[in-house]
Amino acid sequence: MFAVLLDIHVIADKYVVTALRDHALKDIKDILTRGNYGQDIPACLSDAIEAYYGAATGLSSDLGDFLVAILLEQQQDFTNSDAFDALIQSYPQLAVDLTMSQKQAGWLNTYRVVCPQSDCRFVQPLQAKRLQKQCLTSAYCQRCGLYYRFSDVLKIN
C-alpha cells in the first residue's frame, strides 16, 4: 500500500497532477509520522527515500523537504543505522539535501575558539547553534585543559 502511494506521488508530481500529488503526499506524511495502518516507519522511510531520490529531478519538493525534516528531527535510530549510510551513498542528492537543511538551520556555522594560554593556542571549532542552544559561556581547552570564558577569546570567522 505504501509503495503504491509513493508511485502515485512520483507520477502525479511528474505530470503535475497537483490535487492527486497533494493527496498522496498527505497520506505518505501520515504514515511516516504516525505509522498509520500499522506500517513500519523505518521500512517506509527507506522505501520513500528510494522512490523519491530514485526519481528525483534535483529540484526540491514538498516530499523531499518533508523527508529531510523527519530524518533530522524524529528518526535518529534510523539515521544512525547502516541502512541509512547505504541510502546516502546510493543517493548523493539525499546527502546534499540533508547538508543544505543543516546549513540553513545554522548548524554548520562555527566559531574558531583559540585557547588563551600563550604556549598552547589550540584552536577548536564550536558550533554556533550549540553555543546558542546550550547557552555555553566557557569551556576547557581540549589540549592543555585550561578553563576559559568565550567572551575573552571568541574569534568569529
Quick check: 32 and 70 in contact, CB under 8 A?
yes
Cβ atoms of 88 and 95 closer than 8 Å? yes
What's the closest the beta carbon of residue 120 comes to Zn ion, in angstroms? Answer: 3
Contact stretch for Zn ion (CB under 5 A) within 28-36, 40-48, 78-86, 115-123: 115-123
Min CB(123)–Zn ion separation in Å: 10
With CA atoms as reference, report the closest residue to 60 among 23, 100, 28.
100
Contact in structure between 78 and 70 (CB atoms under 8 Å): no
- The reply on whether position 122 binds Zn ion by CB under 5 A is yes
CB contact at 8 A, 108 and 102: yes
Which one of 34, 143, 149, 154 is in contact with Zn ion (CB under 5 A)?
143
The residue among 71 and 141 lying less far from Zn ion, judged by its C-beta, is 141
Alpha-carbon distance of 96 to 108, in angstroms, equals: 13
The residue range among 55-63, 85-93, 96-104, 137-145 that interacts with Zn ion, by the rule CB under 5 A, is 137-145
Residue partners of 58: CB distance under 8 A and separation at least 6: 93
Q: CA torsion sign, 17 to 20 to 23 to 28?
A: negative
Nearest-approach distance from CB 146 to Zn ion, in angstroms: 5
Least distance (Å) between residue 139 CB and Zn ion: 10
Closest separation between CB of residue 152 and Zn ion, Å?
A: 13
Residue 123 touches Zn ion, criterion: CB under 5 A: no
The contact set with Zn ion (CB under 5 A) reads 115, 117, 120, 122, 141, 143-144, 146
